[in-house]
Amino acid sequence: MKQSTRSALLVTARTLVAAGCVAVVVAARSTVGWSNLAIMLVALAGLLAVLASYNRRFR
Amino acid sequence: MPGNPSGTLPPRTATRRAAGPAPGRRGASGSAPRRRGNGLFVLASLLPALVLFAVFMVVPTLNVFRMSFYTWSGFSPDMRFVGLDNFTALLDDAQFVRAFQNTVALLVVVTVVTMGTGLFLAAVMTRQRLRGRSLYRFVLYVPSVLSVVVIAAIFSAVFDQENGLINGTLQALSLDGLRQVWLGDQDLVLWSVAIAMVWQSLGYYMVLYMAGMASIPEDVYEASALDGASPVRQFFAITLPLIWQNLRTTLTFFVMSAVNLSFVLVRAMTGGGPDGSSEVLLSYMYKQAYTNSSYGYGMAIGVVIFAFSFLVSLLVSRATRREPLQF
């Protein structure tokens, strides 16, 4: 696979995961409960993981 | 002396010994009083700041932790140690869970929207030759200098059910079906607060990013343009890495300030209503500690807020750590 294609796919995947995490946070808020709060915190952790994965190659 | 069978010192060493300690080096006998004197001076200089820090930061923070193990009304002299009871009570408190969920939702959505839009607008204003750029910058920055209570009043008027800007505009456009009770609908109220939060913070962070971007040398962009880099490529390959330290600091601060800002806006715009649907952790803590006379329980919520903010800030800081680039 070409390097440019690979990086484009990586960027798309990261964007989708980040958007998915935000969507999960918004959706999980509609029901009150510890399980939904846990889902929201996992989604927040997912966002931070995406950020860390983007930042990893610059360390 | 090993390697020197004659027992005599080399000439350079002998000279140094005869002349005493070399300049810049401290001998064992001469440096000790000087160092102690410096230490006392440093301590005396730091003492006022340390005392203030201890009195106004460390002691109140420790007091929050201590009070979370007590039950106290906040007014009476009766204070009873209850151990972890306040924390176990949190587990059965649905309103606390809802406030926690609202805080997380605001933290995520407002941070993503504010940082993303702020970066985009800063890049456009810095790199594109827009007409009236200073005016846009001024208009976007104005909310940052307004009091949060004034912003709450503005948005209460904007979201007014009958004569508000949004519903009035929708009515004028014959889109009556889209009119909402923005601050009275349990599903919408939190997002109405989120809009006010974004509006308040956006200009401030945009100006911060613009300042960072303005310090990037123009010839870096010129060189990349000669290599055929598009503006998007320039943003991700040049702008973003070179303002990363700026971005990292603002992101860490924003996590903490979003928690605080949400409290003030919720308090001023909705009071946590309707039916607690816009309650956030700080407003719920305030309500328990100062309105419900459950000071110990409120402090237990404060401990949770402290732990959550600290953990998220730490994780953001770790996730964004990188070597600073010199240019």
Q: Do A32 and B94 touch (CB under 8 A)?
A: yes
Nearest to B109 among A18, A25, A55 (CB): A25
- The whole-number pLDDT of residue B327 equals 66
Residues of A in contact with B102 (CB under 8 A): 29
Q: Is B285 domain-assigned?
A: yes
Q: Do B101 and A26 touch (CB under 8 A)?
A: no
Q: Is B70 domain-assigned?
A: no
Q: Domain coordinates of chain A in residue numbers? A: 3-56
Res. A59: pLDDT tops 70: yes
Q: Is B77 domain-assigned?
A: no
The pLDDT of A34-53, averaged and rounded, is 94
Q: Is B140 domain-assigned?
A: yes
DSSP structure class, residue B236: I
In angstroms, the first-to-last Cα distance of chain A is 25
- Domain region containing B251: 93-319
- The whole-number pLDDT of residue B257 equals 87
Instruction: Report how far residue B9's alpha carbon sits from residue A53's, in angstroms, rounded to the nearest whole number.
Output: 59
Q: Do A59 and B321 touch (CB under 8 A)?
A: yes
Q: Is B55 domain-assigned?
A: no
Instruction: Report how far residue B219's alpha carbon sits from residue B227's, in angstroms, rounded to the nearest whole number.
Output: 12
Instruction: Report how far residue B183's alpha carbon sits from residue B270's, in angstroms, rounded to the nearest whole number.
Output: 7
DSSP structure class, residue B201: H
A47 to chain B, any CB pair closer than 8 A? The answer is yes
**Residue whose token pair is 């979370």:** B68
- The whole-number pLDDT of residue B52 equals 96
Supply the CATH number for residue B104's domain.
Answer: 1.10.3720.10
- The whole-number pLDDT of residue B34 equals 59
- The whole-number pLDDT of residue B100 equals 94
Instruction: Report how far residue B73's alpha carbon sits from residue B292's, in angstroms, rounded to the nearest whole number.
Output: 8
- pTM metric for this prediction: 0.83
Q: How many domains is chain B built from? A: 1
> Nearest CA to CA, how far is A58 from chain B (Å)?
6
How far apart, in Å, are the Cα atoms of B313 and each of B140, B198, B256? Answer: 27, 19, 7
> Nearest CA to CA, how far is A39 from chain B (Å)?
10
Instruction: Report how far residue B307's alpha carbon sits from residue B188's, in angstroms, rounded to the nearest whole number.
Output: 28
pLDDT by position in tens, chain B (length 327): 333 434 444 444 444 444 444 444 444 444 555 566 788 899 999 999 999 999 999 999 999 899 899 988 877 888 888 888 999 999 999 999 999 999 999 999 999 999 999 999 999 988 887 888 888 888 888 888 888 899 999 999 999 888 889 888 888 888 888 888 888 888 899 999 999 999 999 999 999 999 989 888 888 889 988 988 888 888 888 888 889 989 999 998 888 888 888 999 999 999 888 888 999 999 999 999 988 888 899 999 999 999 999 999 999 999 998 877 776
Q: Do B320 and A29 touch (CB under 8 A)?
A: no
The long-range contacts involving A35-43, CB below 8 angstroms and separated by at least 24 positions, are A36/B101, A37/B97, A37/B100, A37/B101, A37/B104, A40/B101, A40/B104, A40/B105, A40/B108, A41/B104, A43/B108
Q: Is B212 domain-assigned?
A: yes
Residues of B with CB under 8 A from a CB of A: 91, 94, 97-98, 100-102, 104-105, 107-109, 112, 187, 190, 241, 244, 312, 315-316, 318-323
